[in-house]
Amino acid sequence: MTDLDGTWEDEADWSAFDDLDGGEGEQSAPPQPVLAVVGRPNVGKSTLVNRIIGRREAVVQDVPGVTRDRVAYDALWNGRKFTVVDTGGWEPDAVGLQASVAAQAELAMATADVILLVVDGSIGATSTEEAVAKVLRRSKKPVILCASKVDDDRLMADIASLWSLGLGEPYPVSGLHGRGSGDLLDVILDRLPETPRDDFGGGRGGPRRVALVGKPNVGKSSLLNRLTGEDRSVVDSVAGTTVDPVDSLVELDGEIWRFVDTAGLRKRVKFSGGAEYYASLRTKSAIETAEVAVVLLDAHEPLAEQDLRVLTMVVESGRACVLAFNKWDLVDEDRRNEMVRELERGLVRVPWADKVNISALTGRAVHKLAPALRTALNSWDTRVPTGRLNQWLTELISATPPPVRGGKQPKVLFATQASTRPPTFVLFTTGFLEASYRRFIERRLREEFGFEGSPVRISVRVREKKKAGASKK
């Protein structure tokens, strides 16, 4: 949002800021048919997904195993909208972390309307693809076979061998250069139904968007799995398992929410490279497109630099915020006493955020997240009538006037709430207000009007002195 600090000349400027944000919320988009993109690791699935959706959203790196969760993106082709689900490498005999990744791909196929199997056209069908083809031939879902990395005509003769998989005609595509992507999209639209397999009943207004953020291995994916009641995100003891943001519709306390699991933010992201750097950009984007952020903190460990970086990112984005102290089942009495001192020092930027003590592992108190989210969002959307705001502010300033600056005491002549999401107030004054006095006004605003769980922004516009002779013209 543009900084509202500045100057003003006459009272006509005041009305320009009044009632700017009175519009209704966005309506929910109708549900869309789903295409699941599957294949073994490093065949170019995410590159092809970026080509299909027409933007660089999926994290891409020239090493296998970058994508791990199933990640949904909106796509548009020839006026029709559909959802593309990118998946991690699918290998039927995978073990360990890769087995969890493969399970996510299988879940994506089970909930999709059409399956797109991607094979590396420069290599051809391997024993893995033959095993995958057997599984897909038994399924009742429409399957489209795509040969990726076909960047020139030299590979076209080898593509014919893919007919042996028994999945129909192979479509050659270059995800990197776009070769053949239009023809593939036409085939995809032809196979997709006009309406999706499932309707989640997202009525008017649509689900509120919630970003799960925090440092690596704090339990974001475990919490999402607990909320959804399924293994929606890949969970492993290795930090940094999640790379792409993962969207899930979650029914919590009788309401549908859209939760987004994000990659953990590390200490020095700007010095990182490859997937980790782009994952951090996706996390920032997920926060900015969300309405409220649930910041997960590890309750049985001291607050870390990464925790404070995450909090700073959320505050600067202007999003509503709930603090969830995870792994509370591991906290003893001594640790609770330590936390009181840590929070007094470390959370000075967000004293207004609601705090919930949970355990994603056991499910302890996760039901308390919904009331905290509603409170934060209601505060985020709150508008104070101009008349009531000015009456309250006049009484406040009469009791505690602003400090003298340069031998003169500034006066606050008028105030208005310029916008919501977050609540932003503009004060029209005769002089500059010190930062400490702005914080004082914010603190008293919260005492009077609430705003629990939401940042509050206060801007000052100082009256500009008219130039000599301006009034004579």
Which residues participate in the annotated binding site for GTP? 39-46, 86-90, 214-221, 261-265, 326-329
Are 191 and 142 contacting, i.e. CB atoms less than 8 angstroms apart?
A: yes
The position carrying tokens 């750097």 is 277
From CA 338, how far away is CA 348, in angstroms rounded?
A: 16
Instruction: Kindly list the distances between the CA atom of residue 432 and the CA atoms of 83, 130, 435, 460, in Å, as whole numbers in the listed order.
Output: 51, 72, 9, 7
From CA 366, how far away is CA 286, in angstroms rounded?
A: 22
DSSP characters for 233-285? S---SSTT---S-EEEEEEETTEEEEEEE-PPP-S-GGG--HHHHHHHHHHHH
- Contact residues for 466 (Cβ-Cβ < 8 A; gap 6+): 9
Annotation: binding site:
39-46, 86-90, 214-221, 261-265, 326-329
Strand 255-261 relative to strand 246-252, pairing: antiparallel
Closest C-alpha among 390, 286, 364 to residue 14: 390
From CA 181, how far away is CA 420, in angstroms rounded?
A: 42
- Contact residues for 445 (Cβ-Cβ < 8 A; gap 6+): 425, 451, 456, 458
